[in-house]
A and B are shown apart, each in its own frame.
Chain A
């Protein structure tokens, strides 16, 4: 069946697919633990009976029972060598049985393996595995393909590409979204829709996991962005566990009662999944027969996607910054890292740009002396897992772009396509194959036209060519090609005129490499900011820039308010409401000692130095500040912790603030009020064989903050080493930590060795998740500390 005929069918009516197959097989005697595909092949009468019942009920499309017919699944049953025969025979048998009464779609489903970059199955291997099954089904005469019950976008992409590279038949895709509206791997319906419709699927939707009511909202959410029909195959209600068995107990009438809701939300194709029967489909058909489907509302959508997020573009959307930092040009440190095959800075740039407010990350790996393609693929793999932001693939090499687009698990933005012969002839078809948006550069082999009109002509020329590949204006971002004003002061005006034309008349997204405008000028940031404001006024809605520039990001926030791109100004208010400086009078009205006290109790380690300095300047003695402010404050923190009004992080914050205060006071203190404690040394260690040391580290931190000297020997430390250190440094206390039942026994060795060495004055305290007071007693330790605060109290007691 051609895609055209498929679309004609969809436009006429609410199309019905079939209902559950697996449960119908079980009803007809399929035992547990067998390959359903083999059972189907050996029980074709049952298959025909089920399909006939669905077709009689009203199904326009039935699925060939080839769900687990891929090599990986069949291998589980030792049937991989029969893959071709099984898939082809099943398709032929179904086609022969149903004739022209319905369409037969080959059923493609997960392999059970995760595909790179999310798993260890190579992407091309996944494509090949699906192709093998698809070719067999094609030889069996299928009318199209249903890729269903998918839970990972990358595996879905592999299956879609496999179909596309084998034939031109219709492809319908359904993914399984959980109650939180994400697949188990975290893909959301909108980003999946954006990715897959760009890749060329003919219908998208959801199956399994929820009942019909759960799918209505999902369909409603994605309908405004769908340029293809939407499809739902719900279960017969939510699964219930009755007598140890999962049961779907929604009756046919109730199931069909949701048809109006589903079609009203925008579903064009409906059917059923787990627990549904021909009765459910018949009821659906009856309910749908007088309903008119809502056809896709948009012809194109200006959006790119990552596995777990979508970035919507357009004049009605907030201004978007494409983060420019992941580019080795002019960055020696990054170049050196990339040459060593390291990606630490790439990861750091990604996270900094996300935090700075970038909406898209530009990735450019063009650097002499490295394999650009390999580095690009490695970076995409890293970023697909490490950031939520969609990527802009930036390369002049069409091979690099193709490799990147093939593996990128979303809809990317290609940077860039110009009227240069090579780009137009090679890069454009590649971008089209993977459905990528692209940045249009209005230049050709002769260079960049000097006038706005010259660039307009080239823009039109490139777009005309792109239309041949199915591109619409929404799929394009025009780069205004900003040149520096330092060499030609009218350069900015040319770009501004081009932006205005592109935004208002040509109606495409516009972007620019912002900082180019100021190249060679002093204090470039002001030129950049002024140009950005002017360009936003002309319609610029994207910029390739460094989002860590506060001036730039603040200006964009303000511009979005003025251009009505920030609905109710929420984002502007959120951005700036939290950074209003606190009125100084509020602080100044509190007397200095109280401020110091408050800083410790509230854990303000960032402002306590200032508060202590103010207290000293007000004439207070350092010792008075310690005795009257700091010690009462830390005692207050301890009290709040003891009565559980504070929990551990707050206790630590108070102690951190205390330590900061002492850093200021130390030069002023001739003698501390807690001299004895300050001189006491505590040796801390996690015992031999144990590598868990975070608890011990926190104890060390707390003891130091309370004025003890701490010698932290680290983790996996032998009894000999601990006792030797205690002897050598004349420690008064040893603190031991263990987190496992297999290592806590080492604590006893330390206690025994201390006794053997005659260290009768040495106090030993123990702690850790697996020990308690009784164990401390049992091994002869002096005490058990339940937590860091208890350690401090014990240390104080031991050194009194």
Chain B
């Protein structure tokens, strides 16, 4: 069963947005007017994010040290992912996006010469979509705990640890990600770019 959420509401990861912009809490000094301008741009960026997500649970049929077969004959080939999923009977696939407005507005701001907005929007989009992925993990954990199950602490995404970008196609097929307004290019890139897909194992608590 695939689940969708159209509006993920979460606590704004303000500290992380600042860190992404290079802020060093011990060294960086800002005047009130600088802080106000940056805070305003970040707040506008956050308002432009429309966090949506999809997830599904799939049984693992076959496990080896190099690959994992799950659901209806789908295979992820990655030794590192296989290691993460060792001992799990199922896995969760999920996808989150911050939508296209934030990406388009960041580009438009850069084109208009407003670098502060462009930077703030970009950082806000990246951190918000990351926080949304964490939200889904938290949500799933709450759902699973009644069955004495939990997600692996780590999640894994295509493009990392030897898991090729080609595997994005599996996410699009199984999670119907286009319903979130996300498209996959021929090179397996997701548009809008502030989109994350991930895999986590489902393990028993014992």
Residues of A within 8 A of B27 (CB): 643-645
Shortest C-beta distance, A211 to chain B (Å), equals 16
Which of B67-75, B80-88, B106-114 contacts its partner? B106-114
A-B contact count (CB 8 A): 146
Residues of A within 8 A of B187 (CB): 689, 742-743
Task: Please pick, from B9, B22, B47, B205, the residue contacting A185 in the complex, using a CB distance under 8 A.
Answer: B9
Task: Please pick, from B38, B110, B206, the residue contacting A700 in the complex, using a CB distance under 8 A.
Answer: B110
Shortest C-beta distance, B57 to chain A (Å), equals 9
Q: Are B6 and A118 in contact (CB under 8 A)?
A: yes
Q: Are B107 and A697 in contact (CB under 8 A)?
A: yes
Q: Are B113 and A659 in contact (CB under 8 A)?
A: yes
Which of A490-498, A648-656, A774-782 contacts its partner? A648-656
Q: Is the C-beta of B179 less than 8 angstroms from some C-beta in chain A?
A: yes
Contact with A along B73-110 (1 / 0, CB 8 A): 00000000000000000000000000000000011001
| Residues 38-57 of B at the A interface (beta carbon under 8 Å) | 38, 41, 47, 50
Q: Are B6 and A656 in contact (CB under 8 A)?
A: no
A604: nearest residue on chain B (CB-CB)? B33
Interface size band for B: 35 or more
Task: Please pick, from A184, A655, A690, the residue contacting B135 in the complex, using a CB distance under 8 A.
Answer: A184
Q: Are B113 and A740 in contact (CB under 8 A)?
A: no
Q: Are A694 and B122 in contact (CB under 8 A)?
A: yes
Residues of A within 8 A of B106 (CB): 694
* A645-B29, A647-B23 known; A119-B5 Cβ under 8 A: yes
Q: Are B38 and A649 in contact (CB under 8 A)?
A: yes
Shortest C-beta distance, B149 to chain A (Å), equals 8
Q: Are B22 and A648 in contact (CB under 8 A)?
A: yes
**Cα distance A308–B1 in the bound complex, in angstroms:** 28
Q: Is the C-beta of B182 less than 8 angstroms from some C-beta in chain A?
A: no
Q: Is the C-beta of A75 less than 8 angstroms from some C-beta in chain B?
A: yes
Q: Are B110 and A697 in contact (CB under 8 A)?
A: yes
Residues of A within 8 A of B142 (CB): 151, 176, 184
Max count, chain B CB within 10 A of own CB: residue among A72, A185, A690: A185
**Cα distance A507–B144 in the bound complex, in angstroms:** 50
* A114-B6, A184-B138, A351-B47 known; A647-B116 Cβ under 8 A: no
Q: Is the C-beta of B154 less than 8 angstroms from some C-beta in chain A?
A: no
Residues of A within 8 A of B143 (CB): 112
B120: nearest residue on chain A (CB-CB)? A649
Shortest C-beta distance, B41 to chain A (Å), equals 8
Contact with B along A181-207 (1 / 0, CB 8 A): 010111000000000000000000000
**Cα distance A76–B149 in the bound complex, in angstroms:** 15
Residues of A within 8 A of B11 (CB): 180
Shortest C-beta distance, A664 to chain B (Å), equals 15
| Residues 683-702 of A at the B interface (beta carbon under 8 Å) | 689-694, 697-698, 700-702
Main secondary structure of the interface of A (DSSP, over half): loop
Q: Is the C-beta of A246 less than 8 angstroms from some C-beta in chain B?
A: yes
Q: Is the C-beta of B119 less than 8 angstroms from some C-beta in chain A?
A: yes
Shortest C-beta distance, B177 to chain A (Å), equals 13
Task: Please pick, from A604, A646, A698, the residue contacting B28 in the complex, using a CB distance under 8 A.
Answer: A646
Q: Are A32 and B118 in contact (CB under 8 A)?
A: no
Residues of B within 8 A of A151 (CB): 142
Task: Please pick, from B10, B149, B193, the residue contacting A186 in the complex, using a CB distance under 8 A.
Answer: B10
**Cα distance A652–B120 in the bound complex, in angstroms:** 11
Q: Is the C-beta of A585 less than 8 angstroms from some C-beta in chain B?
A: no
Q: Are B116 and A691 in contact (CB under 8 A)?
A: no
Q: Is the C-beta of A22 less than 8 angstroms from some C-beta in chain B?
A: yes
**Cα distance A37–B23 in the bound complex, in angstroms:** 53
**Cα distance A246–B135 in the bound complex, in angstroms:** 20
Task: Please pick, from A185, A385, A697, the residue contacting B118 in the complex, using a CB distance under 8 A.
Answer: A697
**Cα distance A687–B102 in the bound complex, in angstroms:** 22
Q: Are B6 and A698 in contact (CB under 8 A)?
A: no
Q: Are B115 and A652 in contact (CB under 8 A)?
A: yes
Task: Please pick, from A643, A655, A694, the residue contacting B107 in the complex, using a CB distance under 8 A.
Answer: A694
Q: Is the C-beta of A410 less than 8 angstroms from some C-beta in chain B?
A: no
Q: Is the C-beta of A667 less than 8 angstroms from some C-beta in chain B?
A: no
**Cα distance A244–B135 in the bound complex, in angstroms:** 22
B143: nearest residue on chain A (CB-CB)? A112
Q: Is the C-beta of A117 less than 8 angstroms from some C-beta in chain B?
A: yes
| Residues 358-388 of A at the B interface (beta carbon under 8 Å) | 384-386
Q: Are A114 and B5 in contact (CB under 8 A)?
A: yes
* A186-B9, A653-B37, A697-B110 known; A22-B4 Cβ under 8 A: no
Shortest C-beta distance, A440 to chain B (Å), equals 33
Q: Are A602 and B115 in contact (CB under 8 A)?
A: no
Task: Please pick, from B33, B139, B206, the residue contacting A245 in the complex, using a CB distance under 8 A.
Answer: B206
Residues of A within 8 A of B47 (CB): 351
* A643-B27, A694-B110 known; A655-B115 Cβ under 8 A: yes
* A114-B3, A246-B205, A697-B111 known; A647-B139 Cβ under 8 A: no
**Cα distance A652–B119 in the bound complex, in angstroms:** 9
Shortest C-beta distance, A143 to chain B (Å), equals 25
| Residues 135-182 of B at the A interface (beta carbon under 8 Å) | 135, 138-139, 142-143, 145-149, 159, 165, 179
Q: Are B205 and A647 in contact (CB under 8 A)?
A: no
**Cα distance A319–B120 in the bound complex, in angstroms:** 35
Max count, chain A CB within 10 A of own CB: residue among B7, B106, B118, B142: B7
B112: nearest residue on chain A (CB-CB)? A701
Q: Is the C-beta of A106 less than 8 angstroms from some C-beta in chain B?
A: no
Q: Are B116 and A602 in contact (CB under 8 A)?
A: no
B4: nearest residue on chain A (CB-CB)? A120
Q: Are A117 and B115 in contact (CB under 8 A)?
A: no
Q: Are A603 and B3 in contact (CB under 8 A)?
A: no
Q: Is the C-beta of A741 less than 8 angstroms from some C-beta in chain B?
A: yes
Max count, chain A CB within 10 A of own CB: residue among B9, B118, B138, B204: B9
Shortest C-beta distance, B121 to chain A (Å), equals 8
Shortest C-beta distance, A68 to chain B (Å), equals 8
Q: Are B115 and A689 in contact (CB under 8 A)?
A: no
Q: Is the C-beta of B198 less than 8 angstroms from some C-beta in chain A?
A: no
A384: nearest residue on chain B (CB-CB)? B7
Shortest C-beta distance, B98 to chain A (Å), equals 13
Shortest C-beta distance, B82 to chain A (Å), equals 20
Q: Is the C-beta of A447 less than 8 angstroms from some C-beta in chain B?
A: no
Residues of A within 8 A of B18 (CB): 647
Shortest C-beta distance, B193 to chain A (Å), equals 6
Residues of B within 8 A of A701 (CB): 110, 113, 115, 118
Residues of A within 8 A of B8 (CB): 185
Q: Are A698 and B10 in contact (CB under 8 A)?
A: no
Residues of B within 8 A of A697 (CB): 107, 110-111, 118
Q: Is the C-beta of B196 less than 8 angstroms from some C-beta in chain A?
A: no
**Cα distance A22–B146 in the bound complex, in angstroms:** 8
Q: Is the C-beta of A33 less than 8 angstroms from some C-beta in chain B?
A: yes
**Cα distance A265–B122 in the bound complex, in angstroms:** 45
Q: Are B22 and A693 in contact (CB under 8 A)?
A: no
Q: Are B118 and A308 in contact (CB under 8 A)?
A: no
Q: Is the C-beta of A113 less than 8 angstroms from some C-beta in chain B?
A: yes
Shortest C-beta distance, B96 to chain A (Å), equals 13
Residues of B within 8 A of A698 (CB): 110, 115, 118-119
**Cα distance A616–B206 in the bound complex, in angstroms:** 77
Shortest C-beta distance, B63 to chain A (Å), equals 18
Q: Are B115 and A76 in contact (CB under 8 A)?
A: no
Contact with B along A648-686 (1 / 0, CB 8 A): 111011011001000000000000000000000000000
| Residues 205-252 of A at the B interface (beta carbon under 8 Å) | 244-246
Q: Are B28 and A647 in contact (CB under 8 A)?
A: yes
A33: nearest residue on chain B (CB-CB)? B147
Task: Please pick, from A26, A117, A644, the residue contacting B7 in the complex, using a CB distance under 8 A.
Answer: A117
**Cα distance A180–B193 in the bound complex, in angstroms:** 30
Q: Are A691 and B191 in contact (CB under 8 A)?
A: yes
**Cα distance A185–B5 in the bound complex, in angstroms:** 10
Q: Are B113 and A741 in contact (CB under 8 A)?
A: no
* A32-B147, A118-B7, A646-B28 known; A691-B179 Cβ under 8 A: no
Q: List 11 A-B contacts (CB under 8 A).
A: A32-B147, A112-B143, A118-B7, A182-B9, A184-B135, A604-B33, A644-B27, A653-B34, A656-B116, A689-B189, A697-B118
Known contacts A184-B135, A184-B142, A656-B113, then 7 further A-B pairs from the complex at CB < 8 Å, ordered by chain A residue? A32-B204, A119-B3, A602-B33, A644-B24, A648-B119, A649-B41, A698-B110
